[in-house]
Amino acid sequence: MIRRHGKLTLLTLLLSASSNGIFAQEIPVTTPIDSLITVGYATGSLKTLSGSVEKITETQMNKDQITNPLEAIRGRVPGLTIQRGSNGPAALDAVRLRGTTSLTSGNDPLIIVDGVFGDLSMLTSIYPTDIESFTILKDASETAQYGSRGASGVIEVTTKKGMSGRTQVAYNGSFGVSTVYKNLKMLSGDEYRRVASERGISILDKGNNTDFQKEIEQTGLQQNHHIAFYGGSSESSYRVSLGFMDRQGVILNEDMKNFTSNMNMNQKMFDGFLNCELGMFGSIQKNHNLVDYQKTFYSAATFNPTYPNHKDPVTNSWDGITTASQITNPLAWMEVQDDDATSHISTHARLTFNLLEGLKLNLFGAYTYNIVENSQYLPTSVWANGQAYKGTKKRESLLGNMMLTYKKNWKKHFFDVLALAELQKETYTGYYTTVSNFSTDKFGYNNLQAGALRLWEGTNSYYDQPRLASFMGRFNYTYADRYVLTLNARTDASSKFGANHKWGFFPSASAAWVISEEEFMKQLPMVDNLKFRTGYGLAGNQSGIDSYTTLNLVQPNGVVPVGNSAVVSLGDLRNTNPDLKWEVKHTFNTGIDVALFGNRLLLSANYYNSRTTDMLYLYNVSVPPFTYNTLLANIGSMRNWGTEIAIGITPLKTKDMELNINANITFQRNKLLSLSGMYNGEMLSAPEYKSLASLDGAGFHGGYNHIVYQMVGQPLGVFYLPHSTGLESDGNGGYTYGIADLNGGGVSLEDGEDRYVTGQAVPKTILGSNISFRYKRFDLSLQINGAFGHKIYNGTSLTYMNMNIFPDYNVMKKAPKQNIKDQTATDYWLEKGDYVNFDYVTLGWNVPIEKVQKLKKYVRSLRLAFTVNNLATISGYSGLSPMINSSTVNSTLGVDDKRGYPLARTYTLGLSINF
């Protein structure tokens, strides 16, 4: 590091943690040499970092309309993919850090808020304004601190704390509107009648001209309010905040309300011997949801446009189409009740004893309680005789750890040693009840006894209690601020595995060379920082499997007579595997950080290569010798590798003007290496072709509708399709998809026959960029995100361009002209998924309070901002939006199949004021 009068240049220090978005803020030029950063359990100087770590502070976060806190760092961190589940108001993000590394275990990163462990859903309890910083741990040399929890990366969230001084008050509020700006172009009522007439087709003409897509839309109103009180003294500090979000979706009856609270207190005692921290955060969230996205939007697009937008005045019911079994009147779907209420509270306490100089004892405890109540009612207009559902899911977690740390400076040597013991117990309970055959819709889901318990899966309950015990040691050594060595060793014991494999050992090592601290670098004054680092480590994975996988699972087989009594017999429901053990990810990472020309040019680059071994997977097995036909076993491997590059440039910086350009790009690759091996003398092997994502709806009734596959030797999620030679005449004025005979034995659509691998669903390249410009008190910020190298299957067009479904289903405006009468899934509708999205633009004004005498006595700062979200998207994709699921391995991966939420743009006016 560059020494300057006993201080370090802040931007140089931050480069070790992040070169992302670093100039989009006004910050002091320098900071003391002992500036601290918390990485995992360890706290130390920024210059001691030797792993791949990114830190995003509040001033670097996105300033657009944010629902989930993770949206604040979307596009800011190389290797981090954040996608919304939909455009709905309560959509939860799908998150991947350096790709998918497991088929069965979890792939979501570990979320930690102020030391409390959780998942993505826990973040909805945090109001974005309460967040001070995000720290993202990407490579195993750092994530190994969390052992089995950190296999998919770690996102640490630090909330704001109090500070010494008088009580201060901060308010942030905004109002906004969301409007649809793009939906599918379907035949209008007049066009529908004309096409039917030209083709001599008899239709049921209700005489209207209804656009059902617009009929279910609305202008979504939004409001957000947050107020915080904070202050303290040299011995104690506090911060308390309350937040409220109210978001309407652009679809009728869809909205979200979220109340949040956050409290942090700190007290120093006994002349600094003891430091006590207390914290609590919680929320109550209520959502009105769409019960089925695909059926709702499928029905809105293809329902007969000559039907009215109101109920039959005689029967007081919605008109339906008996010949269109896949859809229902879309306005009837708006009467469906699908509500959920989530209550969350997390409390934690940390006691720090300063035993001796450099020696500290930390005691930490946390309790988390989360309950979700789901209620749903499908009225008779969409479900025969109606159906109601009520269910509750509850999670409780107890976490405790004891940590001993010792730090010592001796001449040019610095030692940092840590030892930790940790216990965690979680309890999951839940139940649900499904009732049907209602005589009236008036009760909704509030009178279950008015119906009859559904015979199949009418009720169910569960209980799950996983436990984890851990021990961890960390050693960090730094010599002359130039050479850094960090060693971690963690061992975890999980109740999920058998007695022989409960314990897993996960070590890691990393090193850094701060080249700019060398004497010979003084000859290059333009180099502010030059640092090389490398690391290797192991991380276990146990998420994604239930707590009792190694135990027998039984179910009732019926009643048998035993003597004079009737006894219920039990039978095995699955095979047990006493040899089940940890899935392990091995990761190598190397990188370089550079700062030049007074930190006006920053560059950070990383290369990573990970290999997952002993991969957990459910195999088909023979009966006998096995009792049941499937077995969960540790066989298989997968590889992920890639390069991440981040750059920050400040080409203009004066008193009145500043221009900052920050960009990051990630090149990622994946390959499924193996899914076969020996288990107890029997060869286990996964199917050669396994479908991951398929098409359904009109025209698909168990046919060849599989699109995205899992195949050994290929990236996870490849398109495996017949090759279309183009459109061919059917001899009657229509066209079908010509299919190539790839194997020369006659055309066959079966797996392994006339199909070929033709691209992947997961992007090969991910882009994020932020451009900010300041002129005096005005500032402008633009966020740009993009993805490249992947493909999308346009299943929506495959269905809506098929004239065979007309007139039972409406079709696209251009469908009659092309006159395709075929719905065979080939590569004809496989398109490039590349896109660049202008995520948001914000114009801000820091009001000159000092010029208003009456205000400046009470108001410290005042800022106004106007934001436009989802400004524009550049893409060659012909569907509604290229921003579909391209990261989560499920039935929607890479397939645009009639689920397209209409594209909406949000306009927001915000106010921030500090007293």
For residue 661, pLDDT over 90 is answered with: yes
Instruction: Please check whether residue 41 is in contact with residue 350, taking contact to mean a CB–CB distance below 8 angstroms.
Output: no
For residue 122, with 0-12 CB atoms within 10 Å meaning exposed, 13-18 middle and 19 or more buried, which class applies?
A: buried
Please tell me whether residue 754 adopts helix, strand or coil conformation. Answer: coil
For residue 27, pLDDT over 50 is answered with: no
CA-CA distances (angstroms) from residue 95 to 284, 525, 541, 788, 792?
Answer: 23, 41, 17, 18, 19
For residue 413, pLDDT over 70 is answered with: yes
- What is the reported pLDDT for 31? 30
Q: How far apart are CA 318 and CA 216, in angstroms?
A: 14
Identify the band that residue 144 occupies on the pLDDT scale cut at 50, 70 and 90: confident
- Residues 442-486 have pLDDT tens digits of 999 999 999 999 888 889 999 999 999 999 999 999 999 999 999
For residue 30, pLDDT over 70 is answered with: no
Q: Name which of 380-384, 424-428, 546-550, 736-740 the model is least confident about.
A: 546-550
User: Domain-by-domain residue ranges, the chain?
Assistant: 3-152
Tokens 């999620």: give the residue: 717
Our CA angle for 473, 476, 477, nearest 5°, is 145
- Residues 551-596 have pLDDT tens digits of 777 777 666 677 777 777 777 778 888 888 888 999 999 999 999 9
CATH class of 3-152: mainly beta
For residue 242, pLDDT over 80 is answered with: yes
For residue 121, pLDDT over 90 is answered with: no
- Which candidate, 730, 729, 706, 710, places its Cα nearest to that of 718? 710
**More confident of the two residues 739 and 858:** 739
- C-alpha 117: how far from its chain's center? 16
- Residues 263-314 have pLDDT tens digits of 999 999 999 899 999 999 999 999 999 988 888 999 999 999 999 999 999 8
- What is the reported pLDDT for 850? 84
- What is the reported pLDDT for 738? 95
- What is the reported pLDDT for 11? 30
Question: What tokens does 54 get?
Answer: 């990114």
For residue 396, pLDDT over 60 is answered with: yes
Tokens 């009966």: give the residue: 623
Q: How far apart are CA 902 and CA 330, in angstroms?
A: 14
- What is the reported pLDDT for 306? 97
- Residues 1-24 have pLDDT tens digits of 333 333 333 232 323 333 333 223
- Residues 687-713 have pLDDT tens digits of 999 999 999 765 564 457 899 999 999
Which of 165-169, 430-434, 846-850 has the highest average model confidence (pLDDT)?
430-434
Identify the band that residue 431 occupies on the pLDDT scale cut at 50, 70 and 90: very high
- Which candidate, 5, 6, 8, places its Cα nearest to that of 17? 8
What is the mean predicted confidence (pLDDT) over 790-800?
95
What is the mean predicted confidence (pLDDT) over 489-512?
89
Do the strands 165-182 and 735-739 form a parallel or antiparallel pair, or are they unpaired? unpaired
The beta strand positions in 121-235, using DSSP E, are 131-137, 154-159, 165-182, 220-232
- Residues 310-366 have pLDDT tens digits of 999 988 899 999 899 889 999 999 999 999 999 999 999 999 999 999 999 999 999
346 strand-pairing partners? 281, 368
- What is the reported pLDDT for 44? 58
Q: Please, what is the average pLDDT of the chain?
A: 88
Do the strands 791-794 and 895-896 form a parallel or antiparallel pair, or are they unpaired? parallel
**More confident of the two residues 542 and 477:** 477
Our CA angle for 713, 715, 718, nearest 5°, is 105
For residue 25, pLDDT over 50 is answered with: no
For residue 667, pLDDT over 50 is answered with: yes
For residue 200, pLDDT over 50 is answered with: yes
- What is the reported pLDDT for 327? 92
pTM of the full structure = 0.90
* Percent of the chain topping pLDDT 70: 92
For residue 140, pLDDT over 80 is answered with: no
Instruction: Please check whether residue 441 is in contact with residue 380, taking contact to mean a CB–CB distance below 8 angstroms.
Output: yes
